[in-house]
Structure 1
């Protein structure tokens, strides 16, 4: 099956090791179309976390309505990773413009449902400062970044040097998490819809550089917003590896491992790997680890 001018090679996780170790026949597209790919695979990439000094717990969620409790199991898991009975949860809703309703929803879920002591980092406030950001971030047990306009969020963060505070917190043991834009931010880049907030009906998904705490490109909402073809093209043309999540799926990064989590049925994570001008796509379910 040709998609975005690239072959889509779909293999399952169990096949992956055999495919890397030698020639293999895999099904491509329609039945009876096959392609020998083993002999031309690019060298197996090293761990995405290799050569990185940052060793933290980061949970990146592909999407889902927190207000409808679609991510509640993931939210509970995030809280559990703090090791605290009443964790201090800091919500950063910059990407939504610090929307009041979003803050109220977070308070309900993380405060009332999950028993956290909730605080908010509201960068749009006129009295907001770098010192305030540092204090709030470094005193949190978990930091959760909300969804919205990734590009605008990162621009605001640069003004207040928020990335440095987040890095320091992560290195000190604070659990870092986020959904959609709040998931993209932790990676080197993301497939972002930021232009839809400013470009009207002519907007397109684009690669957007992010903080680089995690290597590779991240794509949220894979199953809900027709992002597969643009991501396939990005990986094929850039040569970058990418990970993607359906709504209700997440990737938990810890100790050099990337493990899939899920709060909804049929919610998966995916690994997109450039293969000699083509792209392989692997699907992973909850509990599986990405071969990074």
Structure 2
């Protein structure tokens, strides 16, 4: 049962420390599952951990969290080769695709190598909910700020562009994020875009921003637009608390 419109929930959050497992699905991930509209069976959630090289520890932790939650889990690995025979078909069979954080530059390079972009676009258009945190947020946008190349943040501009915006993640926890995102929007490297504090997500229906949602109090989302004279204008968006 697909979502009733192409849906993305792009987060700076989504998992929380677990009680009996290392981590659990947090309110943002639970909301992504809710958006899929599944009733009467276990939701099908597929992990893409490309941004951490399909780290077996992350994959195992995901399956443990999924079992604790009652989710029908799968994962798509690209190292050392795809672990499923028909990647587009597998993605279309999901209710939610969850992209783990890490190197967004590495993720996008591997996805391009395996021509994953068209398959993800098709799944999104079919109503499979796309979600994820950090790199798993940036990837759906035109681009954003990344530490993929080292501790001094740089721009990434080759995102999938399913939504026509720039994206800033970890806006309140990493001091380089806000000024660099402002600079990239101000000089036209990135289009106007949305940024999230940790624990906040951005909901898109089709290519339109709908709302910001949060799993913590006191956090914000932000619209950053290009202003006059090569400046950036930031407008705070108060998230709806999940």
**Separation in 1, partners of 2:105, 2:58:** 19
Question: Is structure 2 residue 169 aligned with structure 1 residue 217?
Answer: no
**Separation in 2, partners of 1:109, 1:66:** 10
Alpha-carbon offset, residue 249 of structure 1: 0.2
Q: Residues 187-206 of structure 1: matches in 2 within 5 Å?
A: 187-196=141-150, 203-206=152-155
SS at structure 1 position matched to 2:204: strand
**Contact 2:33–2:43 (CA<8 Å) still a contact in 1?**
yes
**Separation in 1, partners of 2:25, 2:172:** 15
SS at structure 1 position matched to 2:226: strand
Are the structure 2 counterparts of residues 155 and 66 from structure 1 closer, same or farther at C-alpha, using a change threshold of 3 Å? farther
**Separation in 1, partners of 2:127, 2:60:** 26
SS at structure 1 position matched to 2:124: helix
Structure 1 residues not aligned, in runs of 5+: 1-54
**Contact 1:57–1:254 (CA<8 Å) still a contact in 2?**
yes
**Contact 1:129–1:160 (CA<8 Å) still a contact in 2?**
no
Question: In the alignment, what sits opposite 1:76?
Answer: 30
Indicate the larger mover: 141-150 or 250-259: 250-259
Question: In the alignment, what sits opposite 2:73?
Answer: 118
**Contact 1:251–1:260 (CA<8 Å) still a contact in 2?**
yes
Question: Is structure 2 residue 9 aligned with structure 1 residue 59?
Answer: yes
Are the structure 2 counterparts of residues 131 and 212 from structure 1 closer, same or farther at C-alpha, using a change threshold of 3 Å? farther
**Contact 1:64–1:247 (CA<8 Å) still a contact in 2?**
no
**Separation in 2, partners of 1:129, 1:62:** 28
SS at structure 1 position matched to 2:87: helix
The structure richer in helix per residue is 1
Match for 1:90 among 29, 46, 52?
A: 46
**Structure with bigger gyration radius:** 1
**Separation in 1, partners of 2:211, 2:65:** 24
Question: Is structure 2 residue 203 aligned with structure 1 residue 228?
Answer: no
- Deviation per CA, 1:127-169, whole angstroms, max 9, x where unpaired? x278532232111111111100111111111111111111111
Question: In the alignment, what sits opposite 1:31?
Answer: none
Match for 1:103 among 51, 59, 79?
A: 59
Alpha-carbon offset, residue 58 of structure 1: 0.4
**Contact 2:124–2:130 (CA<8 Å) still a contact in 1?**
yes
Question: In the alignment, what sits opposite 1:48?
Answer: none
**Contact 2:11–2:199 (CA<8 Å) still a contact in 1?**
yes
SS at structure 1 position matched to 2:132: strand
Moved over 6 A (4+): none
Question: Is structure 2 residue 239 aligned with structure 1 residue 286?
Answer: yes
**Contact 1:70–1:248 (CA<8 Å) still a contact in 2?**
no
**Contact 1:271–1:283 (CA<8 Å) still a contact in 2?**
yes
- TM-score of the two chains, using structure 2 as the length reference: 0.86
**Contact 2:105–2:156 (CA<8 Å) still a contact in 1?**
no
**Contact 2:84–2:90 (CA<8 Å) still a contact in 1?**
no
SS at structure 1 position matched to 2:64: helix
Structure 2 residues not aligned, in runs of 5+: none
Question: In the alignment, what sits opposite 2:93?
Answer: 139
**Separation in 2, partners of 1:130, 1:106:** 18
Question: Is structure 2 residue 204 aligned with structure 1 residue 244?
Answer: no
